[in-house]
Structures are given as C-alpha cells and as structure tokens.
Structure 1
Amino acid sequence: MGDPALSRRGFLAASAAAGLSVTALSGCGGDSGGGSSDGTTTVEWWNISTTEPAKGVWAALARKFEAQNPKVKIKIVQLENDSFKSKMTALTASGKLPDIFHTWGGGVLKQQVDAGLVEDLTDRTKPWADGLLPVAKDPYLLDEKVYGIPFDMGMIGFWYNKALFKRAGVSEPPTTWTGFLDAVGKLKSAGITPLALAGKEKWPGMYYWAYLAMRTAGADALQKAYDDKDFTGAEFVQAGEHLKELVDLQPFQKGFLGAAYSSPTGQAAAVGNGKAAMELMGQWAPVVEADAGKGLGDNLGFFPFPAVEGGKGSLTEVFGGGGGHALRQGAPQAAVDFLKFFASEATDLELVKKTGVLPVVPGAESAIADPNIKAVQAQLKAATGFQLYLDQAYAPAVGQEVNDSVAALIAGSKSPEQVTESITKTAKEEQ
C-alpha cells in the first residue's frame, strides 16, 4: 500500500486547550489501568470514532476483546476530532495521558514522547507488528523506535458527485489546477455549489494549501522548510496565490466559515446530501458523508489533487495519513494485548468491510470492495512521495499556525505572503 521507503512526515491538528475543567482530566494516566479488588484491569481507550458505523463497530470490538479477556474492562471515551485534540493538549501539559489514545504520529507524538509520556512499544509489539505494512507504521517511528500501532492508512483527495459534474458539463475529473478552476466555474454557472468546506474547524482548509505547496515546490519541500524554519520561499507564496485564485471564485457553500465537518449541516453532509459537488477529504469521506447526510452511493467518485502547471511536484506525490494508537508510559499489559487484537487480520478484515478503512495488515487487502477505496489504495501504491498532515508533522504550535494562517487567507484577512511569514515566525520561535 505504498513504498516502504517513502519519507516520513507528520499528521491532523493540536488545538489550544482553553477552559478545560479538572473533571475533563480525571481518570487518565496513573488513575486508569488500575486493578480492582476482583483482579479486573480497567483500560481507558480514547478515540475519535464518533460517527457510524465506526462508533458501533469499535464498541463491539471492545466487547469482543473483553469476552476473550474476562479480567479486562475497556472503558471507551469517544471524542470529536477538535475536542479530542484540545483535551489531549491539556493532558500532555498535565503529564497524564489515557492508557490507549488515538495518534496521527509526527511532531505531536514526538512532543509527547520527549516529555516521557508515551510507552516505547518496540520490543513489546515486535512479534506481530513486524507484519504490518511499513508505510502505515512509518509515522509512529521515532529514532527507529515504535511508539504507535496503525489501524488505517490513506490519503487526501477530491470526492465528487458524478451527477452534478455531468449536469455542469464537466466530463472528466480535472488533472491540472487550471482545469480544476475551470470545473469550479462550470459548476457555478450551472447553479451548483462547487465545494463544501468546514471553515470553522480550519484543518480542512489547510489541506488545500498543503497540497498546493507540494504541487508547486515538490514533496520534500514542506519538511525542508520546517527543518530550515523558513516558509517564505517563492513557491510557498505561489501556493497561497493559487488558493486565493480558488477563494476569489467564491466556490464554497453559504455559511462555510461557520460550518463544522461532520455535523448535520457541515461539510460532509453538504456533499452527502447533494448540496455541493466536491470536498477535499481523506479516505474516511464516504462513511462520514453517509452518516452526516444521505450519502451518494454509486454517484460518488474520487480523483487526486490536480497538478500545478510549471510546479516541481507531480500527481503521484500524495498528502494524507492514517490513524494509530499509542499507550501512556507504564500502561498495563492488557493495553498492549488490546493493540495486538486491534492489529490482527481478523479485526482488520472487519474494519475494512464495515468501516471503509484501508488495511494495514496485508492479508486484509482482499476485503476492499468499494471502487473508490480501491482507487485511493491504487494511488497510494503508485505514490512517489508522501507528506503527512502538516498540523501533526510539525510541532503543535507550528501546525496550529499553519491551520490558522490558511484559514485567515480563505477568510480574506491574510495575504499569501503573510501566511508564509506567520508560519516562519512561529517555526523560529519553536527553536
């Protein structure tokens, strides 16, 4: 599912943790994973699977694990993406993390590891983790040590409504940025909202700038800019200028700046209910569109982010990532056992069939039935470069600044140059 040699980058956003109550922090770290008087170990598992079918499937898997391990109780805490990130930021600052927690790897995980809060899983998982797909494991490797176990891998691309494209006279998904802008214009002329965007949550907007930066500067440029603490190069400014070209066409749904991602009136629902023709989102998009809205069924298609004419990047350089689980330092053996259970071929087959994830166990690839998910996997397998989510690739403050600055550009309050200057300033302050 991709070249194991693809370079490692990073993952999805660390929000500011304002106003969290003390009760929101209870039950974590040393307070969980404890044994009771009857010898039962309670393991607290924080994840972001708040939409169906994943929410129910994951809960059922926890019950199945409990049935196989009668002395273990899995306490599930499911939080929406932004809420999870803000609470995890607060927990990291407090020095206590849940027994098992969702991670995207990258700079945020590194910060937690550097603080001594995350269990080194290298030796405890080696007998079975060696069999997982290398590209899926890569984001959780720090100094060749394993700090997380993947359960999904994928990429960001455009999900589109075939019927709306046809109505607007767009015969084929565009492969160039000029062609994409032309398609947006045709959709608008046909009275169709071209794009849905969750402006309130900021990270979906970041995907546009990140991909445009990859297409103009090449796949390795984003990591080099972070290492050099300098995002002011001409190609990064160009990325913002290309995004501004799109924003100036007013392509997004009415009220997009206040829209969430997975709510009944948000980005995914707008596409799932046929109110917008496209969204730029990850491999989970079809499932969330169907949960938040009606879903498009056979009318849903997928295409990779277009190439930018004259840019150094190519269509085969992809942006995305997956999801994994990490353990707090000192987590009980039962937590490691649960990761092994979750990474087994039997579990992976169930996740692929029921929740639309891409497999991390090679033997589960045969279970992919959805043609769009097959298309995503084919793109991953053909990838010549890979960049993981910027707001997790970088240190939390830098990742948040990328999200904030790009959101300001989309809202019209920052110029392309100011975006690069703000990110550079924050990166230098992190030194």
Structure 2
Amino acid sequence: MTAHLSRRSLLGLAGLGAGAVLLSACGDDDGGGSATADGPQTINWWHIQNTEPMLPVWAAMAKEYQTAHPNVKIAIQPLENEAFKTKLTTPTQAGSPPDLFQSWGGGVLQQQVDAGLVKDITDDVKPWVGTLLPAAMQPYTIEDRIYGIPFDIGMIGFWYNKDLFAKAGVTAAPTTWAELLTVVSKVKGSGTVPIALAGKEKWPGHYYWAYLAMRVGGLEALQRAATDKNFDTPEFVAAGERLKELVDLQPFQKGFLGAEYGSPDGQAATMGNGRAAMELMGQWAPSVQASSSTSKKGIGDKLGFFTFPAVDGGKGKPTDAFGGGNGFAVGRNAPPATLDLLKTLLDVDHQRRSAATGAVLPTAKDAADSIKDETSKVVASTLAGATGFQLYLDQAYPPAVGQQVNDSVAELIAGSKKADQVVKDITTVAKSQ
C-alpha cells in the first residue's frame, strides 16, 4: 500500500498518534483465540479513523456494543494509516492479525487471503450483505467469496470551481476527453491555472492514466492485464498518449512536480484558495480543500463535480466508476462476537451516524439520506448508478505493481518517460510477481 492512504481514510492530514485513544486496554496480538459465543471475548479492533470526526463515533459505538453484550470487551487501537501499515506487519508475519482491522480490499487483501490471515465471511454476512451497495463489495470479493466489508465508498472525479469556469466562458462540464482539453485551453487563456496536481506524491497522477485506460479499453482491459501480467497493450499505450495530450497543454500549477497533496501550498490548498479551476480527486476533496485553505472554509458552494469524461472511440462506459473506500477484514482467530460487531457497525442506523459526520459515504443503501453535503450527494448518486467499478490500481494490483504504476505515470507527467516505456516498465514488475 502506498503513502496516499490518508486520502481514503477521510481524516484530513493531522494525526493524533498511534495510541491516541484506547477503549479498554489494547489486547495481545493473538486475535480472540478460541472463545465461545457465550463466554468472555475480547475483540482487538484496529482502525485508521484516528481523528475527529470518526474517532469518537467509533468509540461510542464500541461502548454501546459492550454495554449490550457484557461478555464482550472491545480493545480499540486507532492508528494513523502509515503507522497502521507498519504496526500490522508484525502480527501478520506471526500469523496473528487483529480481530477486526482496516482493509481497502484488492491486491493487499488477496495476499492476506492467500496467507490464510483473514476469515472467509461469505456465509456469515449472507443474511445482510444485500443491504450494501454492490459496487462497494467488489474490492472485498475474491473468487466469489467475501473476505471484508466496506463501511465507506466513493469515487474519483473532477472537482471544479464554478466561478473560474464562468470567467473562462465555460458553460457546461466536459463529457468527452476532447472537450476537457478544450476547457483546459479556455481556462488557461483566461489567466487561471486549469488543474491543481500534487506531483510529488505521485498517486494523484495515476488517477488520470487509470481512468483513461478504463475509458479507452474498458474494465475488461484492466482485469485482463491483472490476469496476464501484461500492460504492454494498445489500450494502455493509448491511455498514456491521451495523458500526454493533457500534459503538453501545461495545465498544472507552477512547481507542481514538488507539490504535496495537503500541505499549505499543495494541491488541495490550491483548489481551496481558488487558485486552480479543477482537480481530479476523491469524495474527500471538499473537506481537505477546506481544511487546507487559508480561510479553512474552501470555496463552498462554488465547488462542482463532474465524472471523468468519455474517450471518443473508446470501449469503456462513461458510467463506469474508479475509486475505493474503507472497510474491515476479520482476522483468522477472531472471536465469534467480531462478526456480530461488524454487522452492527454496518446496520442502517450506525451507517447514518457515520454519514452524518460528513467523513463517510455510507455503503448501506438506505443510509444515503444522511448525507448532508450537496456535492457529496452527487458523488453518492453517481456511484449508486455506476455500471461498473474499478478499485485504485495501486490497491487492485499487488503492491509492487501498484507502486510501479504510480512511479511510471509520474515519470510520464514529468516528461522523462514516453507512453510505450511506461507500460513496459509496469509489465516487467508485474511479471516478476
């Protein structure tokens, strides 16, 4: 997993540290052992919602569960996402993961499944999993078996400044790649930076290449590449060539190659301070724009959202979505109550409480009515109508492949690699796995 996981944790950028809050004492790393359903049980729960607003929400839900189930203790360990990844290494290498722990699904979960570290929970969740959005379940479903449950789901799309579009004479959001390039030229001609990009962190750039590959080759092309371990195909080369068309317009802010995502002069702040017309980012963008801006309020109702445009002649559907979210996997030694706790966290009432914070786009279908922010409602409704879903490539593929995608696309954007070399480099790493 890569350093950008904070973007998916929807926490903003400040962390309270690895041991910020503990509910009960943190248990041993041996999972729940072989506890019986009625006997005393301790659930070791590791999550990355280690700041407000979700930190106290999870704590309150755990306390309520313990009150209703006196035989159950819940030991919560909130961790900043990088600290989580580091700390998880020790118990997983020992074959004893936490009972309930953060997961983004995809290639990392596949490795955990292959190592026998997580439970197959298909039969356990069958009675209620139908209440969740099907697209949200895809990253946690491996060979038709379920190994994790998502509590949050979102998608990547273009966030734009309505006032800056109007200033450039842009009256409608682009629906094709050619139209997007035209919008970029118009915005630049009006004296405004068209697109904010955190070039230093690499992961934001991979969104462009991944979406273009989806639009050019369809979801099947990405799935086939994973199976064949081959990205050296016309579809992926074309994705790079289309991205090069954008790069050639020099659409990004000055110094973008050294820019971070959430720093005071980074991508989110550039948008939040009204200094760029667009950014390609996930559902957390409005909150990070606001928290990174000078005013701490962002651009408010000036912010709009549109989906990644279609590519003329491409095989992909413009209604196919690219993104991901947060979820939980259940450790191999988890006590019986863990699955009941998971069910409780995902019921409609608890999902509504999570959604009301503004930090979570719920996966429970009937909890969508608790989403307050208007732009978040647009994202949720777009995702609910998605015809297909692709997880972030640096999560969907094995970690080494995902990292190479980020690195190679960053080189293409910087101008040091061409489209055909990018796919060869990624293929080399894929075949080595």
TM-score tier, shorter chain, comes to 0.7 to 0.9
Distance 2:330 2:211 in 1: 31
Residues 279 and 353 of structure 1: CA distance in aligned 2, closer, same or farther (over 3 Å): same
Does structure 1 conserve the Cα–Cα contact (< 8 Å) formed by 2:30 and 2:97?
no
Secondary structure, counterpart of 2:78 in structure 1? strand
**5+ unaligned residues in a row in structure 1: which ranges?**
1-12, 17-23
Secondary structure, counterpart of 1:220 in structure 2? helix
Q: Deviations over 1:171-210 (max 9, x none)?
A: 2111111221222222223332222222233221111000
Q: Where in structure 2 are the equivalents of 1:245-394 lying within 5 Å?
A: 245-293=245-293, 294-394=297-397
Match of 2:177 in 1: 177
- TM-score between both structures, scaled by the size of structure 2: 0.84
Q: Where in structure 2 are the equivalents of 1:133-212 lying within 5 Å?
A: 133-212=133-212
% of aligned pairs identical?
Answer: 57
Task: Report whether the alignment pairs 1:407 with 2:405.
Answer: no
Residues 41 and 188 of structure 1: CA distance in aligned 2, closer, same or farther (over 3 Å): farther
Does structure 2 conserve the Cα–Cα contact (< 8 Å) formed by 1:198 and 1:204?
yes
Distance 2:234 2:259 in 1: 32
Deviation at 1:423, TM superposition (A): 1.1
Counterpart of 1:141 in structure 2: which amino acid?
Answer: T
Moved more, 372-381 or 110-119: 372-381
Deviation at 1:78, TM superposition (A): 2.6
Deviation at 1:292, TM superposition (A): 3.0
Counterpart of 1:338 in structure 2: which amino acid?
Answer: L
Distance 1:211 1:196 in 2: 17
Residues 58 and 162 of structure 1: CA distance in aligned 2, closer, same or farther (over 3 Å): farther
Q: Deviations over 1:90-113 (max 9, x none)?
A: 764554433322212122101111
Match of 2:222 in 1: 222
Counterpart of 1:106 in structure 2: which amino acid?
Answer: G
Deviation at 1:130, TM superposition (A): 4.1
Does structure 1 conserve the Cα–Cα contact (< 8 Å) formed by 2:394 and 2:403?
yes
Residues 91 and 423 of structure 1: CA distance in aligned 2, closer, same or farther (over 3 Å): farther
**5+ unaligned residues in a row in structure 2: which ranges?**
5-17, 19-25
Secondary structure, counterpart of 1:154 in structure 2? strand
Match of 1:78 in 2: 79
Does structure 2 conserve the Cα–Cα contact (< 8 Å) formed by 1:15 and 1:86?
no
Distance 1:350 1:193 in 2: 38
Counterpart of 2:118 in structure 1: which amino acid?
Answer: V
Residues 28 and 64 of structure 1: CA distance in aligned 2, closer, same or farther (over 3 Å): closer
Task: Report whether the alignment pairs 1:421 with 2:420.
Answer: no
Does structure 2 conserve the Cα–Cα contact (< 8 Å) formed by 1:401 and 1:426?
yes
Residues 407 and 351 of structure 1: CA distance in aligned 2, closer, same or farther (over 3 Å): same
Counterpart of 1:394 in structure 2: which amino acid?
Answer: Y
Counterpart of 1:353 in structure 2: which amino acid?
Answer: A
Deviation at 1:60, TM superposition (A): 4.1
Secondary structure, counterpart of 1:268 in structure 2? helix
Q: How many residues align?
A: 406
Counterpart of 1:304 in structure 2: which amino acid?
Answer: T
Moved more, 257-266 or 147-156: 257-266
State the Cα RMSD in Å: 2.9
Counterpart of 2:73 in structure 1: which amino acid?
Answer: V
Does structure 1 conserve the Cα–Cα contact (< 8 Å) formed by 2:212 and 2:243?
yes
Does structure 2 conserve the Cα–Cα contact (< 8 Å) formed by 1:206 and 1:407?
yes
Secondary structure, counterpart of 1:355 in structure 2? coil
Distance 2:32 2:260 in 1: 34
Match of 1:3 in 2: none
Distance 2:410 2:323 in 1: 19
Moved more, 56-65 or 226-235: 56-65
Q: Where in structure 2 are the equivalents of 1:63-74 lying within 5 Å?
A: 63-69=63-69, 71-74=72-75
- TM-score between both structures, scaled by the size of structure 1: 0.84
Q: Deviations over 1:225-268 (max 9, x none)?
A: 22122211122111111112222222223333333333444322
Deviation at 1:165, TM superposition (A): 1.4
Counterpart of 1:242 in structure 2: which amino acid?
Answer: R
Deviation at 1:149, TM superposition (A): 1.0
Counterpart of 1:30 in structure 2: which amino acid?
Answer: D
Secondary structure, counterpart of 2:369 in structure 1? helix
Deviation at 1:386, TM superposition (A): 2.2
Distance 2:101 2:265 in 1: 28
Deviation at 1:422, TM superposition (A): 0.8
Match of 2:23 in 1: none
Residues 345 and 166 of structure 1: CA distance in aligned 2, closer, same or farther (over 3 Å): same
Match of 2:29 in 1: 30
Deviation at 1:298, TM superposition (A): 1.2
Does structure 2 conserve the Cα–Cα contact (< 8 Å) formed by 1:43 and 1:72?
yes
Residues 337 and 384 of structure 1: CA distance in aligned 2, closer, same or farther (over 3 Å): closer
Give the one of 392, 401, 407 matched to 1:398: 401
Match of 1:113 in 2: 113
Residues 381 and 127 of structure 1: CA distance in aligned 2, closer, same or farther (over 3 Å): closer
Match of 1:21 in 2: none
Deviation at 1:302, TM superposition (A): 0.5
Does structure 1 conserve the Cα–Cα contact (< 8 Å) formed by 2:33 and 2:333?
no
